[in-house]
Amino acid sequence: MSAQDPHVHLDVAIIGGGIAGLWLINRLQQAGYHCGLFEAKALGSDQSVASQGMIHGGIKYTLGGALTGASEAIADMPDHWRQCLNGEGDVDLRGADTLCDHFYMWSSASVTSKLTTFFASKATRGRVDKVAANDRPALFRQGKFKGQLYRLVDMVLDVPSVLRTLANNVAGQTWLLPPERANWIKNESGECELRVKTDKGHVRVTAGQFIFSAGRGNQALLRALDENTPAMQERPLQQVMVKLKQPSDDIRFYGHCLGTDKTPRLTISTHPTQDGRWVWYLGGSLAEKGAQQTEAEVIRAAQAELTHLMPWMDLSEATWASLPVNRAEPRQKNLLRPDKAFIGKAGKCSNVAVAWPTKLTLAPNLASECMELLNAEGIKTASHKPDLSALDILEQAKVSPCPWDQADFKPFNEFVS
């Protein structure tokens, strides 16, 4: 380390460029903070681009018939995001695309009575509407469908367009920093700094507050500082992707299938691919159980579910792939699902905090929690703008491609042993 190494001081430095980190830097910039974001791979890589894009108000967490902490925490999130999409919220999302402005929940005939009772409860009043047969999407205008269909206030966004919009709002402040170029230093007083390796030495990056928002990567960042709190838990999934040949108007659908468990039996979202086709991206209990299965096993299970729930669908020309996903969350007692977004101070690091949104829809809530922490820590905006030119050695991070544009899709018969 040389005394001549360039030094960049930021009010706030964010480590991790998913939707949570990008939303936060947007809020910080609007509040006048001098800040920057450092991403190890690509903006939205791993968790953000692997999400189904659902901005939901918590209805799927009330399947037990009562409001839970999770449902109450996010009840207002669809309206919050809609305001931002209209340019009227705390972040400007007018460049982002909406895939569907509502979400559905449907039942098979065997659980129709349960769905009817559930949606008549106080927990859902004013948040769902029953869909008449002639108003159903094309996929459910089939004589073989004997269940019930409800429309929720939830919506679905095109996640890459959200990432691009958030990044464009803060152009020039989202640097690509591979892990091998990042050294973390903690002094005796517990203050941390980042040293960026260059061909000629290092660039020192200091900050009034570092905020780790790297999802699963938060754990490795803490270990680099010899810290282990806040602790993290992972919730693994294996989601199935089904590339279909039918016209988009016939297959575009976004919804949960109600089963006998509190988790939706199956969740379907539909996404465009680079080759002009559309892909069904399958979550819910199927994906949770799939975490313990091989790719062939979860794909066979997905094919069986779709055949059972939608016997009118022709899947003969569909191709299949799966995607393992590890959702990162703050550790909970008994590894329960967290109800809310989380930010907490790192153990013995005086200027480091660690954040997880826990759900895509709660990214705005996490940013608000972060702003409160900065106020509590007395982190103020600097009187003059820092010189960022020393960081020109780093490229600006690009948005990650979607998993369905990188997957190796295969005919179903290749997964049958």
pLDDT digits (tens, 9 = 90+) for 364-409: 999 999 999 999 999 988 778 999 999 999 999 999 999 999 999 9
Range of the domain at 366: 7-47+162-233+331-393
Tell me the C-alpha distance between 153 and 127, whole Å.
6
pLDDT of residue 107: 84
Establish if 118 belongs to a structural domain: yes
Q: What is the mean pLDDT of the chain?
A: 90
For residues 97 and 111, membership in a common domain is answered with yes
Asked whether the CA dihedral 29, 35, 39, 42 is positive or negative, the reply is positive
CATH number at residue 35: 3.50.50.60
More confident residue, 319 or 66: 319
Establish if 409 belongs to a structural domain: yes
Is the predicted pLDDT of residue 343 greater than 60, yes or no? yes
Is the predicted pLDDT of residue 148 greater than 90, yes or no? no
Rounded to 5 degrees, φ, ψ at 128 are: -145, 155
Short-list 332, 335, 354, CA closest to 343: 354
Of 102-106, 350-354, 388-392, the least confident: 102-106
Short-list 210, 203, 208, 195, CA closest to 382: 208
Is the predicted pLDDT of residue 232 greater than 70, yes or no? yes
Establish if 167 belongs to a structural domain: yes
pLDDT of residue 120: 47
User: On the CB side of 126, how many CA atoms lie within 13 Å of its CA?
Assistant: 3
pLDDT of residue 193: 97
For residues 168 and 213, membership in a common domain is answered with yes
pLDDT of residue 309: 93
Rounded to 5 degrees, φ, ψ at 372 are: -65, -40
For residues 245 and 146, membership in a common domain is answered with yes
Tell me the C-alpha distance between 51 and 121, whole Å.
29
For residues 346 and 374, membership in a common domain is answered with yes
Rounded average pLDDT over 265-274: 96
pLDDT of residue 230: 96
For residue 181, what pLDDT band results from cuts at 50, 70 and 90? Answer: very high
Establish if 398 belongs to a structural domain: no
Establish if 218 belongs to a structural domain: yes
- Note the pLDDT tens digit of each residue in 274-321: 999 999 999 999 999 999 999 999 999 999 999 999 999 999 999 999
* Domains identified in the chain, total number: 2
Scored b (16 or more CB within 10 A) or e, 109-126 reads eebeebbeebbeeebbee
The percent of residues in the chain predicted with pLDDT above 70, rounded, is 90
Of 65-69, 240-244, 372-376, the least confident: 65-69
SS3 278: strand
Establish if 287 belongs to a structural domain: yes
pLDDT of residue 146: 83
For residue 188, what pLDDT band results from cuts at 50, 70 and 90? Answer: very high
For residues 125 and 242, membership in a common domain is answered with yes
For residues 251 and 132, membership in a common domain is answered with yes
For residues 255 and 151, membership in a common domain is answered with yes
Alpha helices in 44-201, H assignment, sequence order: 69-73, 77-85, 112-119, 159-169
In the chain, the N- to C-terminal Cα span, in Å, equals 58
For residue 66, what pLDDT band results from cuts at 50, 70 and 90? Answer: very low
pLDDT of residue 57: 79
For residues 342 and 298, membership in a common domain is answered with no
Asked whether the CA dihedral 243, 244, 247, 250 is positive or negative, the reply is negative
For residues 292 and 320, membership in a common domain is answered with yes
pLDDT of residue 67: 45
For residue 65, what pLDDT band results from cuts at 50, 70 and 90? Answer: very low
Is the predicted pLDDT of residue 329 greater than 70, yes or no? yes
For residues 77 and 124, membership in a common domain is answered with yes
Alpha-carbon distances of 19 from 45, 117, 214, rounded to whole Å? 10, 36, 10
Whether residue 230 is preceded by a cis peptide bond, meaning omega within 30 degrees of 0, is yes
Q: Which residue has the tokens 């055949």?
A: 307
Establish if 152 belongs to a structural domain: yes
Is the predicted pLDDT of residue 63 greater than 60, yes or no? no
For residue 119, what pLDDT band results from cuts at 50, 70 and 90? Answer: low
Establish if 1 belongs to a structural domain: no
For residues 146 and 240, membership in a common domain is answered with yes
pLDDT of residue 18: 98
Short-list 138, 341, 406, 120, CA closest to 248: 138
For residues 69 and 167, membership in a common domain is answered with no
CATH number at residue 320: 3.30.9.10
Q: Is the pTM of this model over 0.85?
A: yes
pLDDT of residue 398: 98
